[in-house]
Amino acid sequence: MAATGFVHHPACLEHDPGPGHPERSQRVKALLERVHASGLAGELDVREARLAREDELVRVHPPQYVRAIEDACRRAPSVLDGDTTVSRGSWNAALAAAGGVLEACERVMAGEWANAFCATRPPGHHAERDVAMGFCLFNNVAVAAAALRTVHGVERIAILDWDVHHGNGTQHLFERDPGVFYASLHQWPFYPGTGAASERGIGPGEGTTRNCPMPAGAGDAEWLGALERVILPELEAFAPGFVLVSAGFDAHHLDPLASTELTTGAYREMTTRLSELALDSAQGRLVSVLEGGYHLGAIADCAEVHLAALRDAAR
């Protein structure tokens, strides 16, 4: 069986949003240290991400927006919105974050990998078509979905976003597209204010958006219950040819930015169930990309069980 891929790039550690910012390089450092200390690194195919090209980014972001991000990084430090700041190292980090998920999808489509996880930053799911927000510059998972459609000819793509914050950017980029099913589990009401259960898509995309907003204090029973009862049946009916995961680990009970009570084990269970869906519908093809997660111990714990479940699914 093909291996599980693990994608990273040193440039992702050079993105610096400023002192005291929760989206700091130590998040990925803690994750990397755990992958090596646990022995998982020896069971994965570890690769350095390639950098995304402009022609790949402009499938979802206008050229003028891409140039504006590059210019802001060149003039850094630059504040793009109230909580999104870039440094000189942010440009290559953003290209590596988008390029990492592109490379992972390419290797999975080629049959070299069964599945993969991208340990990259900055995150992406809040980035709108032409707006940087919520710590995000380019919408990495959307860039990957667009490439899967246009380059690899995948007709139906499922995106599951289990970050504790709703992925407004990803939903808005695909809410009119019947070929991309966006599903989200997230705390509600909460930043960024989108993600109501009534948001089901627009026009030809109606029915291919499914939000499962969860109240503060919800834990494993509520999140896993919604996954089993609501999201998985709809994704199974959609029958995706590829599964993408916006893997935020900030719904963990230790995370400082949210009030959701997931245990580490919930992330293993969600990964296992989604891997089963991918195996049944998409020949096992699944790529996940790091989004949020701001407690260093929790992000390391969750990434470890997530990767172990992906490894097991690839066997």
- What is the set of active-site residues? 126
Q: How many CB atoms lie within 10 A of CB 234?
A: 14
Q: Which two tokens stand for residue 205?
A: 């995309």
The set of residues, in sequence order, having a beta carbon less than 8 Å from that of 19 and lying 6+ positions away, is none
d(CA 113, CA 132): 31
d(CA 197, CA 115): 30
What letter represents residue 131's amino acid?
A: V
d(CA 209, CA 176): 9
Q: Any idea of the CA torsion for 48, 53, 55, 61, to the nearest 10 degrees? A: 90
CB 199 within 8 A of CB 212: no
What's 136's DSSP letter?
B
d(CA 246, CA 265): 18
